C-alpha cells in the first residue's frame, strides 16, 4: 500500500506513521472510492494524529494515475484477505485453548496494558489463566502473546524440570562453563533454536524503559555488560 502511494506521489507517511491504522485505512478506502479532495480526506484523521488538517491535505496531492490506483486496490484487497485469515486463526486458537481448560474463574484485575497489534482478538489472558491456573501477564515484560508462545512450546507441566536452573539450561539461557585450569575461558550461552527462549528474550528487551524491579535489573545488566548478554541474563531471570 505504501509503495502504491509513493508512486502516486502521495506522501501520507510524512504525517501519519502507519497506513494500516484507523486513519490511514479510512483515507485509503476513501481514495479508492473516488475522493480526491485533500481537505475532505484530511478531515478523516483521528484526534490523536498530531498533524493538522492542512498538513495532511498537502501530503495528499497525488497524480492519481489509473495503474497506481489499481495497484493500491490490489494491496488493500490483499490486506483484507490476510485479515480474514488471521481472524480464522484466532477462532481456531480460541477453540483449542477452551479444550485445554482445567479450571474456571478469571484473573484478578491488573494494570492496563495496551493491546499489541498482532495479539488475538479474543480474551487470551482469561483463556491462559483457565489453562495454567496463574496469570502469567502479571510478570513485568510478559504480555499475552509472549505467554502463549512459551506455553505453546513447553506446556503447563513444569515437573519435568527438576529446578529453575534445569529449565534455563534447556532454554539455552544459562551461561557457558568453558573452564581450563581453573580459569573461565568463556561464559557465552550455547546456540539453541528454542522459540520459548526467543520469546523470553523479546520480553526482556521490552523491559528497557520499565519502572519495575525487572526493568531496573535489565538496566543494571546493560551497564555492566554488552546489550546481548544483558538481554540473555534478564531472559534467564524471567525464565
Q: Is 191 contained in some domain?
A: yes
Q: Which one of 44, 72, 95 terminates a domain?
A: 95
Number of domains in the chain: 2
- How does residue 71 score in pLDDT terms, banded at 50, 70 and 90? very high
Q: Does residue 147 register a pLDDT over 60?
A: yes
Same structural domain, 119 and 178: yes
Q: What is the DSSP letter of 65?
A: -
Instruction: Please name the residues in contact with 50: beta carbons below 8 A apart, sequence gap of 6 or more.
Output: none
Q: Does residue 138 register a pLDDT over 90?
A: no
Same structural domain, 65 and 119: no
Determine the pLDDT at residue 110: 65
Q: Give the least confident one: 112-116, 198-202, 235-239.
A: 112-116
d(CA 166, CA 1): 47
Q: Is 193 contained in some domain?
A: yes
Same structural domain, 140 and 61: no
Residue whose C-alpha cell is 492542512: 54
Q: Is 100 contained in some domain?
A: no
- How does residue 116 score in pLDDT terms, banded at 50, 70 and 90? low
Same structural domain, 76 and 164: no
Residue numbers of the domain that contains 142: 110-238
Q: Does residue 79 register a pLDDT over 80?
A: yes
- How does residue 72 score in pLDDT terms, banded at 50, 70 and 90? very high
Q: Is 152 contained in some domain?
A: yes
Q: Is 54 contained in some domain?
A: yes
Q: Is 163 contained in some domain?
A: yes
Q: Is 156 contained in some domain?
A: yes
Q: Is 117 contained in some domain?
A: yes
Q: Which one of 61, 95, 129 terminates a domain?
A: 95
Q: Does residue 114 register a pLDDT over 60?
A: no
State the helix-helix crossing angle for 227-238 and 164-171, rounded to 10 degrees. Answer: 130
Q: Does residue 102 register a pLDDT over 60?
A: yes
Instruction: Please name the residues in contact with 29: beta carbons below 8 A apart, sequence gap of 6 or more.
Output: 76
Which residue, among 141, 131, 148, 137, has the nearest Cα to 109 in the 3D structure? 137
CA distances from 203 to 55, 115, 233 (A): 37, 15, 12
Same structural domain, 35 and 148: no
Q: Does residue 208 register a pLDDT over 70?
A: yes
Same structural domain, 126 and 234: yes
CB of 12 within 8 A of CB of 59? yes
- How does residue 85 score in pLDDT terms, banded at 50, 70 and 90? very high
Same structural domain, 223 and 133: yes
Q: What is the DSSP letter of 191?
A: P
Same structural domain, 180 and 209: yes
Determine the pLDDT at residue 140: 86
Amino acid at each position: 500500500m505504501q509503495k502504491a502511494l509513493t508512486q502516486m506521489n502521495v506522501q501520507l507517511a510524512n504525517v501519519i506513521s502507519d497506513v494500516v491504522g484507523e486513519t490511514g485505512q479510512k483515507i485509503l478506502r476513501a481514495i479508492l472510492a473516488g475522493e480526491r479532495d485533500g481537505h475532505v480526506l484530511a478531515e478523516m484523521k483521528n484526534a490523536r494524529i498530531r498533524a493538522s488538517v492542512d498538513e495532511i491535505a498537502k501530503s495528499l496531492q497525488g497524480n492519481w494515475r489509473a495503474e497506481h490506483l489499481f495497484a493500491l486496490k490490489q494491496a488493500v484487497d490483499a490486506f483484507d484477505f490476510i485479515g480474514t485469515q488471521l481472524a480464522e486463526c484466532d477462532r481456531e486458537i480460541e477453540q483449542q485453548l477452551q479444550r485445554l481448560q482445567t479450571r474456571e474463574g478469571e484473573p484478578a484485575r491488573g494494570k492496563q496494558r495496551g493491546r499489541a497489534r498482532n495479539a488475538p482478538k479474543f480474551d487470551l489472558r482469561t483463556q491462559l489463566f483457565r489453562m495454567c491456573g496463574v496469570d502469567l501477564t502479571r510478570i513485568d515484560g510478559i504480555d499475552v502473546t509472549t505467554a502463549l508462545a512459551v506455553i505453546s512450546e513447553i506446556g503447563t507441566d513444569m515437573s519435568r524440570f527438576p529446578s529453575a536452573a534445569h529449565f534455563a539450561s534447556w532454554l539455552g539461557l544459562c551461561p557457558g562453563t568453558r573452564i581450563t585450569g581453573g580459569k573461565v575461558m568463556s561464559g557465552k550461552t550455547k546456540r539453541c533454536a528454542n522459540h520459548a527462549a526467543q520469546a523470553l528474550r523479546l520480553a526482556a528487551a521490552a523491559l528497557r524503559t520499565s519502572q519495575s524491579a525487572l526493568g531496573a535489573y535489565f538496566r543494571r545488566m546493560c551497564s555492566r555488560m554488552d546489550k546481548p548478554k544483558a538481554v540473555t541474563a534478564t531472559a534467564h531471570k524471567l525464565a
